[in-house]
């Protein structure tokens, strides 16, 4: 079985997204040239993962100019603001939007503005493909022996424009004989691990099992895990990293059991305006994601729900942060990048 699918594709002037809410039971695609539909896809997590969100938003900006003959004065600002509000934590979204904004400002009077913006979005996409491979290559050095790895959430092709971040490190390691088995946290409440990472591990032919998030401690206690690697949605200048809720739990467990804990992410995930994790805004999700699943109620709607989508792992719990540039070791100071 090969990893032969595209999660994001731009073809015939339309964006094609693999609907991740249907996986792994159905492989269905969203095909659109409407920026509003892409914004909704980001909000619904039909497309997710920090790099993938940024790429999709870049295409959305471009496509908003596709069928316009006369550009209204505030058109770009309206589209920009709509996309800006879709997800608050993943910094790649804002990085991509601001990059598209710079290109627009330089070319806003051009009659070829649509093609110029499409070209920039494609460039962002292509750069991510390259960065994913560079991250994976730099990550090979974390494997000191043939290892059993635990990972959380989804960080593969479904989360990026290329082969992934943490997942791509695992995939490269497997191909090089450095990874023998993967434990995939199910990643409550939306099960990105059991639905998406398992899907990708299966496609890649990597031996794996799914475990509940609360099983990680048991695995570590019984010496079943050699290292943990996850992605990140935002990294502060001091190395504090926001990732899917449950990541901080893993870092604390790794510290207690003396197991290396790594983050893998492109440098676009490093927020140059964010000094520490205290400055990271955490997204809170709708209570329906906890009290229901696939629109089926699993507990009373009357119960209150506390549902942060992310948590922040302090830099002192992170063994290393892998980017496309290198494996960064503590103490972290990303101002010098």
Calculate ∠ Cα 46-48-50, nearest 5°.
160
CA 168 vs CA 47, 139, 223, 241: distances in Å: 18, 9, 24, 19
Strand order in the sheet with 234-235: 234-235, 241-244, 310-313
CA 22/CA 194 separation, integer angstroms: 13
Query: What does residue 280 show for φ and ψ, rounded to 5 degrees?
Result: -90, 125
CA 309 vs CA 48, 153, 236, 323: distances in Å: 12, 11, 18, 23
Rg (CA), the chain: 20
Query: What does residue 117 show for φ and ψ, rounded to 5 degrees?
Result: -70, -40
The H-or-E segment that residue 39 falls in is: helix 35-43
Candidates 200, 199, 206; CA nearest to 175 is: 206
Among 128, 185, 226, 233, the one annotated catalytic:
233
CA 90/CA 94 separation, integer angstroms: 8
Compute the residue count for the chain: 337
CA 203/CA 225 separation, integer angstroms: 23
233 in active site: yes
CA 247/CA 252 separation, integer angstroms: 9
- Catalytic residues, by residue number, are 233
């Amino acid at each position: 079985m090969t990893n032969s699918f595209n999660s994001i594709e731009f073809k015939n002037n339309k964006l094609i997204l693999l609907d991740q809410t249907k996986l792994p039971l159905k492989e269905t695609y969203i095909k659109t040239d409407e920026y509003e539909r892409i914004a909704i896809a980001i909000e619904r997590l039909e497309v997710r993962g920090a790099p993938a969100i940024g790429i999709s938003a870049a295409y959305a900006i471009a496509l908003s100019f596709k069928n316009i003959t006369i550009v209204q004065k505030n058109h770009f600002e309206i589209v920009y603001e709509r996309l800006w509000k879709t997800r608050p934590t993943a910094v790649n979204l804002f990085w991509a939007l601001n990059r598209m904004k710079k290109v627009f400002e330089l070319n806003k009077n051009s009659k070829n503005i649509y093609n110029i913006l499409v070209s920039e979005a494609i460039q962002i996409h292509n750069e991510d493909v390259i960065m994913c491979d560079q991250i994976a290559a730099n990550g090979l050095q974390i494997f000191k022996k043939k290892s059993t790895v635990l990972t959380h959430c989804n960080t593969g092709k479904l989360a990026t424009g290329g082969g992934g971040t943490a997942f791509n490190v695992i995939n490269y390691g497997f191909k090089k004989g450095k990874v023998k088995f993967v434990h995939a946290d199910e990643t409550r409440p939306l099960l990105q691990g059991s639905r998406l990472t398992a899907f990708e591990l299966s496609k890649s032919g990597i031996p794996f099992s799914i475990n509940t998030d609360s099983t990680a401690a048991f695995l570590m206690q019984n010496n079943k895990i050699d290292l943990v690697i996850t992605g990140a949605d935002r990294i502060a200048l001091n190395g504090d990293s926001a990732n899917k809720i449950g990541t901080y739990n893993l870092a604390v467990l790794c510290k207690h059991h003396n197991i290396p804990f790594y983050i893998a992410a492109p440098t676009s995930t490093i927020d140059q305006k964010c000094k520490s994790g205290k400055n990271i805004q955490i997204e809170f999700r709708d209570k329906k994601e906890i009290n229901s699943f696939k629109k089926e109620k699993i507990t009373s709607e009357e119960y209150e729900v506390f549902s942060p989508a992310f948590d922040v792992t302090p830099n002192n719990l992170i063994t290393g942060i892998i980017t496309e540039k290198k494996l960064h070791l503590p103490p972290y100071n990303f101002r010098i990048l």
